A and B are shown apart, each in its own frame.
Chain A
Amino acid sequence: MSTAMNFGSKSFQPRPPDKGSFPLDHFGECKSFKEKFMKCLRDNNFENALCRNESKEYLECRMERQLMAQEPLEKLGFGDLIDGKSETKTQV
């Protein structure tokens, strides 16, 4: 955290998120997808690149349940995953 002592230097400016805030998943509707994602992360030594499918599925679950604004997946950076899940699996 930026302390008050650093008078001359710039302080950290938090920026609001681009798409706003996630509504809370009070009923745990997407909990199973989250568990799959966390298991994938733990199995792959916390490498994000290998678990992008699971994260895509989690976000899709949120979008279906109105817990997230509907967005085309390309805009969320999953453009390469839409063309077929098998392709990405072979890349891994």
Chain B
Amino acid sequence: MGGLWCPGWRRVVLCGWRCGHPGSSTRVVERAEPRLRPGRSGTGGAERGLRRLGTWKRPSPAGQLAVQPPRRPKSTNPFTRAQEEDWRRRNKTVLTYVAAAAVGMLGASYAAVPLYRLYCQTTGLGGSAVAGHGSDQIENMVPVKDRIIKVTFNADVHASLQWNFRPQQTEIYVVPGETALAFYKAKNPTDKPVIGISTYNVVPFEAGQYFNKIQCFCFEEQRLNPQEEVDMPVFFYIDPEFAEDPRMVNVDLITLSYTFFEAKEGYKLPVPGYN
């Protein structure tokens, strides 16, 4: 502790005086020597005060209120004092428990992220809270024949990719619950093999959750040799629940747009979902 000034003669004097009066309260001592304050703060007690005599230090020039006196029991009666000490001890225990709970909550909130990821992996929900679209659903779904939806196709290419990529049909009319096939065509006009990888987007946004692709050509590297032209199919369906969603009542047009990017060698595109 910096600033500690313990003159030897004062310590001897005080120790002698205090040792002679073990039962008296420390309050008497501090009233007699108002300018001296114990260096360490803490709960008072006659015995503890005795032990801390070596830490008496000069009062700071800033004021005598700079250092708080140690907390001492409010009563002189030894029974109530013991009870107060007991309460104090219990308060400390409760405070410790509360602090531990707060730290535990903080830790749990950090641990929740990998735990949720683990949960998704084991249950196979893959990041979406909606239950997966199993193939048995395709088997049993009934087309909603009175709701015709126009699906238009869009094709984009990133500026650095020199493919000619376009859809082979501008639109197709489907009903929810019916599987449909559509084609895109891609040509590599350069003299070098090029690897592309694509992603897709569905507008309007809310209809995108009903748009299920059974098989397509996205998210995997597709290699085109020089001067090669291929057909790229997309096999999809619109979930029959689309017809029952009140928000989709006015939706008659869905646009599916694919964008191709160039895949660099050794570059792994993050596949959507928790893999």
Contact = CB atoms under 8 A, between A and B. Distances in A.
A71 B214 CA distance: 12
A18 B273 CA distance: 12
B218 interface: yes
Contacts of B136: 75
Contacts of A52: 178-179
Contact of B172 (A13, A19, A48, A74): A48
Contacts of A16: 218-219, 271-273
Contacts of B79: none
Given A34-B183, A38-B168, A48 B215 contact: no
Interface in B78-127: 127
Interface string B136-147: 101101010100
Q: How many B residues touch the partner, as a band?
A: 35 or more
B220 interface: yes
Given A15-B213, A18-B213, A47 B173 contact: yes
Q: How many A residues touch the partner, as a band?
A: 35 or more
Contacts of B223: 24
Given A17-B216, A21-B220, A31 B174 contact: no
A89 B91 CA distance: 84
A21 B143 CA distance: 25
Contacts of A75: 135-136, 138-139
A47 B172 CA distance: 6
A22 B215 contact: yes
A76 B179 CA distance: 7
A21 B219 contact: yes
Contacts of A14: 199-201, 218-219, 272
A84 interface: no
A26 interface: yes
A24 B232 contact: yes
B231 A77 contact: no
Nearest to B183: A34
28 contacts: A10-B205, A13-B128, A14-B199, A14-B200, A15-B128, A17-B213, A18-B213, A22-B233, A24-B230, A24-B232, A26-B230, A34-B183, A38-B168, A45-B173, A46-B173, A48-B178, A48-B180, A48-B181, A49-B145, A49-B174, A49-B178, A52-B179, A75-B139, A76-B138, A76-B235, A77-B138, A77-B179, A78-B179
Given A2-B205, A22-B217, 19 more contacts: A13-B128, A15-B128, A15-B212, A15-B272, A16-B218, A16-B271, A16-B273, A17-B218, A18-B135, A22-B215, A46-B171, A46-B172, A47-B173, A49-B143, A52-B178, A59-B235, A68-B215, A75-B135, A77-B178
Interface of B: 127-128, 133, 135-136, 138-139, 141, 143, 145, 168-175, 178-181, 183, 199-202, 205, 208, 212-220, 222-225, 228, 230-233, 235, 237, 271-273
Across the A-B interface, give the 8 residue pairs with the lowest CB-CB distance, nearest first.
A77-B179, A55-B181, A21-B220, A17-B213, A48-B180, A19-B215, A75-B135, A48-B174
